[in-house]
Amino acid sequence: MKIKNVMKLVKFMGELVNLEGKVYGKLSVLSLNCVDRRAYWNCKCDCGNFTVIASYKLQSRHTKSCGCLYKKHLHSINRKPTPTYRSWQMMWQRCTNPHEIGYKYYGGRGITVCKRWEEFINFLEDMGIRPEGKTLDRIDSDRNYGPNNCKWSTPKEQANNRRIT
């Protein structure tokens, strides 16, 4: 479907942003699929799968693959996300999702995640598997999330590392 032909359909939505040719994580945007209150795009994942993703999920960086990244990091027995993956996911939510409860203390005050950590694989490579009883902690609570400013800490260590408000 050509974007020019769709413009009349999306007047109620505002401006349609052309994502064709752009890359979001492992997803390459191929073409517009349809518009039904939202624009949906045909995408090809680096793993070879094809999928259809809504614009807002691509632009917010909420969706980075066809699902292969998530599936790759599930426990093989009970199919739950690993503690390491959950730490990475919550870090992203705190910094990028204005609807997340703690957003105002992170993304809302300018705390971001380094570009390298947009992919879970890189986060895992830099931080290693989360040790039991520890969670992700920033060494300097006024700096961003990145390999030079993060460590796995106990709750007591984190309590001693709070910023002064």
* pLDDT tens readout for residues 23-76: 888 889 998 888 877 788 899 988 888 888 888 888 887 778 887 766 665 544
Can you give the residue ranges of every domain in the chain? 3-63, 73-159
H or E stretch covering 32: strand 27-35
Whose tokens are 């518009």? That residue is: 35
pLDDT of residue 92: 92
How many Cβ atoms are within 10 Å of 9's Cβ, its own excluded? 15
pLDDT of residue 145: 96
Looking at the chain, the whole-number percentage of residues with pLDDT higher than 90 is 32
Radius of gyration over alpha carbons of the chain, in Å?
Answer: 19
The CA distance from 138 to 53, in Å, is 33
pLDDT of residue 163: 66
Residue whose C-alpha is closest to residue 65's, from 84, 79, 83, 46: 46
pLDDT of residue 150: 94
**What tens digit of pLDDT does each residue of 70-102 get?**
666 554 445 567 899 899 999 999 999 998 888
Whether the predicted model's global pTM rises above the 0.75 cut: no
The CA distance from 73 to 130, in Å, is 13
The number of CA neighbours under 13 Å toward the Cβ of 7 is 7
